[in-house]
């Protein structure tokens, strides 16, 4: 009896979340403009009016996608740094551990259409309003702040071997991630991005580790 009731009203996973999931996959594969509401509702199994119950229009979907992306992005950043910090007291060693973990993460991306919503939105930015573009920029600045803070602590203890611009150094992680994802995808080789990150790690070590 209980079983029967549950079959009638299945414990439906959050429809809105499933719409956002389907939208992200579709946008990463073909872009926002080519992603139709019809295909999203087909993937989730509701009607078009159901979609407009969750999002007031397509621009609202874009904003929700960006917010969801930023949330996941922040969680990734947190897990990267917090765990690296727990393991190490020395800022340089902790950071090198974090970069290694980052490379490992990037080596285990979904095989099909790995990618980053920030890049996809960036290359279609006239489709989005100022708010969504500003959110995207804010996400990038969060990476810069986080990395810069680490580099400041490292540089304090280990003076760099050559002059280094800490903002540029901080941006490199995001830059390599975005560029590497593009190469990964076009060349269909998932090892490119992790290798770029490990090479950056070599550079950081070469730059800060005491000579000899």
Partner DNA sequence: TGTACATCAGTGAACGCGCGTTCACTGATGTAC
Which element (helix H / strand E) includes 48? Answer: helix 48-54
The single residue among 18, 37, 74, 179 that binds its own copies, judged by CB under 8 A, is 179
Beta carbons of 21 and 72 less than 8 angstroms apart: no
29 near its own copies (CB under 8 A) = yes
Q: How far is the CB of 27 from its own copies (least distance, A)?
A: 9
Beta carbons within 8 Å of 161's beta carbon, 6+ residues apart: 206, 207, 208, 211
Q: How far is the CB of 11 from DNA (least distance, A)?
A: 11
Region 96-135 residues binding its own copies, contact defined as CB under 8 A: 113, 115, 118-120, 122-127, 133
3-state secondary structure of 47: coil
CB of 69 closer than 8 Å to CB of 118? yes
Q: Figure out which of the listed residues 185, 190, 201, 208 binds its own copies, where binding follows CB under 8 A.
A: 185
Is residue 49 part of the contact set for DNA (CB under 7 A)?
Answer: yes
Within 31-129, where are the H helices? 37-44, 48-54, 58-87, 91-107, 117-122
CA 132 to chain centre: 16
What is the Cα–Cα distance from 42 to 61, expressed in whole angstroms? 16
Shortest Å distance, C-beta 41 to DNA: 7
Least CB distance to its own copies at residue 111 (A): 14
Residues that bind its own copies (CB under 8 A): 28-34, 113, 115, 118-120, 122-127, 133, 136-137, 140-141, 161-162, 164-165, 168-169, 171-172, 174-180, 182-183, 185-188, 192, 195-196, 198-199, 202-203, 206-207, 211
């Amino acid at each position: 009896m209980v079983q029967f009731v549950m079959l009638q009203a299945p414990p439906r996973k959050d429809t809105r979340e499933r719409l956002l999931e389907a939208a992200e996959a579709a946008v990463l594969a073909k872009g926002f403009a080519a992603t139709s509401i019809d295909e999203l509702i087909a993937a989730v199994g509701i009607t078009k009016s159901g979609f407009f119950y969750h999002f007031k229009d397509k621009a609202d979907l874009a904003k929700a996608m960006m917010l969801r992306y930023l949330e996941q992005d922040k969680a990734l950043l947190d897990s990267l740094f917090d765990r690296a910090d727990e393991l190490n007291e020395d800022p340089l060693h902790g950071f090198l551990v974090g970069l290694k973990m980052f490379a490992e993460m990037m080596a285990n991306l979904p095989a099909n259409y790995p990618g980053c919503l920030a890049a996809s939105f960036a290359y279609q930015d006239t489709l989005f309003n100022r708010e969504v573009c500003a959110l995207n920029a804010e996400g990038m600045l969060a990476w810069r702040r986080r990395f810069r803070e680490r580099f400041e602590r490292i540089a304090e203890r280990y003076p760099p071997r050559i002059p280094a611009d800490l903002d540029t150094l901080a941006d490199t992680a995001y830059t390599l991630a975005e560029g590497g994802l593009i190469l990964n995808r076009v060349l269909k080789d998932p090892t490119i991005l992790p290798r770029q990150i490990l090479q950056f790690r070599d550079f950081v070590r070469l730059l800060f580790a005491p000579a000899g």
